[in-house]
Structure 1
Amino acid sequence: MKSLHLAGPEDLGRLVTLVSAFHSEQRLEVDYATVEAALTPLLEGQPVGAVWLIGPRKAPVGYVSVSFGWSLRHGGLDATIDELYIRPAVRRRGMGGEALHQLTQGLRQAGVTALRLAIEPGDERLDRFFRRARFQEHARNRLLTRVF
């Protein structure tokens, strides 16, 4: 079953709803204009990233957003999962794992050499989820961010 669909401009409304739900759940400030402004270039094909819908295209249950970069250490094009969200009512049914599997296979076929992500320290559920998907923690690295 294909549970991952590359999102396009026609998916903006569904994605704003899903992103807003995720940000609310994470207790992040929800600014619909900012969310829409960030999504629009990706949905229009901006090469710096992409967003995929998870589940049925007409009624998605989640999304994953990915940004692309370049890594000398990993030998070229790399990707970072910015956000991965599944609606609470349908979690633990394997859809997230299936979508992550399809994503990693597709990115690998497209020439991506590494996929990264960050999770909150102490989030054991997410830690187990991503370790099952063969992500490894690197003690040498800490993610630092400077917001402009």
Structure 2
Amino acid sequence: MSAALHLAKPDDLERVLALVTAFHAEEGLDSTDEARRAALLPLLEGIPHGCAYLIGPARAPLGYVVITFGWSLEFGGMDAFVDEIYIRPAVRGRGIATEVLISLPKALSKAGVKALHLEVDRENEIAQRLYARAGFKLRDRYVLMSRAL
């Protein structure tokens, strides 16, 4: 099974939106279709703050990953955040997410990204093992904190 990445474009909106909706339902994330569409469309239209990739065949994707960009003095320049990664339940456990999370940093580093971050539920040991296999490490001194505006 191929974890090829395809940069999602506006024509892919409905495919990506269906995957995002499935992920949000699975994770119990409270969001509306309108809010998801409004957050996703600028990424597909080329806003410089992030991008979305379809995973697998573009016409029948196996999942998606959304990357957002920022700037870090600590890491010496542009950094990126895996905002969401989702693989359809029927194809999980086949190494697709691992392949994506190993290949993505290589591509991003060629574009000048100095660090790639992600967050994971403290109780989700399966995801933590996946991320560790892909080279992500816990930062013991740091806790991600958020404030919705």
How big is the alpha-carbon RMSD for the aligned residues of Structure 1 and Structure 2?
A: 1.0
Q: Any gaps of 5 or more consecutive residues in structure 1?
A: none
Please name the residue that 1:6 is paired with.
Answer: 7
Q: Which amino acid aligns with 1:108?
A: S
Identity %: 49
> Pairwise mapping of residues 64-83 of structure 1 onto structure 2 (< 5 A)?
64-83=65-84
Query: Which runs of 4 or more aligned residues in structure 1 lie more than 6 Å from their structure 2 counterparts after TM superposition?
Result: none
TM-score w.r.t. length of structure 2: 0.96
Give the 3 Å change call, closer, same or farther, for CA 90–27 of structure 1 in structure 2: same
Summarize deviations over 1:16-53 as a string: whole Å, max 9, x none: 10000000000112411111110111101000000000
CA distance in 2, matches of 1:78, 1:27: 28
- Give the TM-score normalised by structure 1: 0.97
Structure 2's unaligned 5+ residue stretches are none
1:13-32 alignment to 2 at 5 Å?
Answer: 13-32=14-33
Q: SS of the residue aligned with 2:79? A: strand
Q: Aligned letter for 2:145?
A: L
Mapped contact 1:4–1:102 kept (Cα < 8 A): no
Kindly indicate whether the alpha-carbon contact (under 8 Å) linking 1:64 and 1:85 is maintained by their aligned counterparts in 2: yes
Paired residue secondary structure (1:84): strand
User: 1:117 matched to which residue of 2?
Assistant: 118
